[in-house]
Amino acid sequence: MKIPRDEALAEARKAGHVWASKGRKLLKFDLSGDVSDDELAKAILGRSGTLRAPAFRTGDTFVVGFHVDGYTELFG
């Protein structure tokens, strides 16, 4: 199921934090600060303009993409 930009941003903004893998980097956003929709969209959307996979929420963190170190930090 493809999730377009507006819906993806709405889901991400429900969380307090967004972690998104980008290549070998793990980008961490604290949404209580000043994070623009464009900055967030650049991290969580793919080339097609839809939410990248995998994407899920655990606790107060919305996770997009796969990053070994991030998963280890979240799940032990």
Confidence grade of residue 1 (pLDDT, cut at 50, 70, 90): confident
Listed by start position, the domains of the chain span: 5-75
Burial label for 5, CB within 10 Å (0-12, 13-18, 19+), is middle
What single-letter amino acid sits at 56?
Answer: F
Mean pLDDT computed over 14-28: 96
pTM over 0.75: yes
Closest CA to 19 of 71, 75, 7, 38: 71
* The pLDDT value given to residue 50: 98
CA angle 38, 31, 16 (to 5 degrees): 130
Mean pLDDT computed over 29-35: 95
> What percent of the chain is modeled with pLDDT above 90?
97
Mean pLDDT computed over 46-70: 97
CA angle 9, 15, 19 (to 5 degrees): 80
